[in-house]
Amino acid sequence: MKIKTALCSFGTSGKFFHAPFIYNHPGFDLYAVVERTNKQAKEKYPNIISYNSFYELINDAAVDVVIINTPNITHFEYATMALHANKHVIVEKPFTTTVKEAQALITLAKEKNKLLTVYHNRRYDSDFLTVQDIVIKKVLGEIHEARFCFDRYKPELSNKIHKETPGVGSGILFDLGSHLIDQTIQLFGLPNAVFADIGKQRTNSKIDDYFDLKLYYKKSSVSLHSSLLVKENNIGYILHGTNGSFIKPKTNIQEEFLLQNLLPTLHNFGAESEFDFGVLNATINNKLVREKVPSVTGNYMQFYTSMYNAIINQAPLPVSAEEAMQVIQIIEAAYISNRERRVIELSTS
């Protein structure tokens, strides 16, 4: 029996980052979608049910899992309704707009005995998986400094109105920042403190489109940077440790494949070319090593495989809601830091 899964929208997220993986996973059934106007999903997936509203979708008793891939400001409301309708829930990042909302959803999911996770898909990117492998194997020894960047060059305002509208949950820190913060937590845990510079760089921008965060740990620090006005944006990860350094280009190979309608079932899906390999410069076993490091191949399908095992076999979720809440905790602290121009201590309890 396949897990009947429903999408709350069929924009870029639904069309490219969810539907291809659900449809091609043997354990899932791409069962339903909400499309208020254009019925594009029905054209691509003829057997899918296309509902006109979210309310119709969650009232379908056959739906097992609901994916909340709507604008950030709706995540809490829609996830709450889906849980009350006794559905398992996958929320697009960012999880919520506040820690208070995140905690409320975690409590509700436990009360309803339903699974709640967040689609931090960039954990399964080749660039991050390669960096993670370097860190886990302690190739660089003890890391004392790192810088992660997720930059783009988009000087013109987006035609996606919800992305350019100011308000709670808007801006680049909630968008691209959620990825970088989640990756940092995966590598180093929750930091002790944060300092942030957040602002607007594009002409006529009404939302924050730039940030530079400093996350402080006991013996190290991590800088996170994102801007929509960086033309040379290939450097993604820089790590310095007691044994040496590792520099890895920022890649979006899966995104590039998906936008070309290449399916995740391809044998080379998510595989980077040698051009995108990172460079290691370190002393290993008393020998100086400077070489390119082949990238680990990523595939967002791993998220859905983990989700399937969590539902069917009670295995751990691909992303715990508590981990996703820590991302929001750091974002909240970052905005306070930017406003008050000071370092904000974080509660690690």
Strand segments (E) across 111-154? 116-119, 143-149
Mean residue pLDDT across the chain: 96
In this structure, the dihedral spanned by the alpha carbons of residues 296, 317, 256 and 6, taken in order and rounded to 10 degrees, is 160
206, 167 contact by CB (below 8 A): no
Count CB atoms within 10 A of the CB of residue 282.
19
Domains of the chain: 3-119 (3.40.50.720), 122-298+329-345 (3.30.360.10)
Phi, psi (degrees; rounded to nearest 5) at 12: -60, -45
pLDDT at position 50 is: 96
Where residue 328 falls (left for φ over 0; alpha for ψ -120 to 50; beta otherwise) is alpha
The token duo for 221 is 């620090």
Query: What residues pair up with 222 in beta bridges, in sequence order?
Result: 146, 215
Among residues 166, 195, 198, 174, which one has the least CA distance to residue 324? Answer: 174
Count CB atoms within 10 A of the CB of residue 138.
12
Residue 152 has pLDDT above 80, yes or no: yes
- C-alpha distances in Å from residue 120, one per residue of 100, 265, 313: 20, 20, 21
Q: What is the pLDDT of residues 66-118, one digit of tens each?
A: 999 999 999 999 999 999 999 999 999 999 999 999 999 999 999 999 999 99
pLDDT band for position 158 (cuts 50, 70, 90): confident
- Side-by-side strand order, sheet with 3-7: 49-51, 28-34, 3-7, 65-68, 88-92, 116-119
pLDDT, average across residues 248-259: 92
**Residue showing tokens 């909240």:** 332
Q: What is the pLDDT of residues 262-303, one digit of tens each?
A: 889 888 898 999 999 999 999 999 999 999 999 999 999 999
pLDDT band for position 349 (cuts 50, 70, 90): low
Measure the CA–CA gap between 129 and 123, rounded to whole angstroms: 7
Instruction: Enumerate helices (H) and strands (E) in the chain, giving the number of each.
Output: 12, 15
Residue 228 has pLDDT above 90, yes or no: yes
Q: What is the pLDDT of residues 116-138, one digit of tens each?
A: 999 999 999 999 999 999 999 99
- C-alpha distances in Å from residue 11, one per residue of 34, 212, 228, 297: 10, 29, 21, 26
Q: What is the pLDDT of residues 188-226, one digit of tens each?
A: 999 999 999 999 999 999 999 999 999 999 999 999 999
pLDDT at position 261 is: 86
Measure the CA–CA gap between 307 and 88, rounded to whole angstroms: 10
Phi, psi (degrees; rounded to nearest 5) at 105: -70, -40
CA 84 to centroid of chain Cα atoms: 25
pTM for this prediction = 0.96
**Residue showing tokens 């590598």:** 187
141, 243 contact by CB (below 8 A): yes
pLDDT at position 328 is: 98
pLDDT at position 329 is: 98
Give the SS3 label for residue 264. coil
pLDDT at position 156 is: 93
Q: What is the pLDDT of residues 34-70, one digit of tens each?
A: 998 888 999 999 999 999 999 999 999 999 999 999 9
Among residues 210, 220, 228, 239, which one has the least CA distance to residue 334? Answer: 210
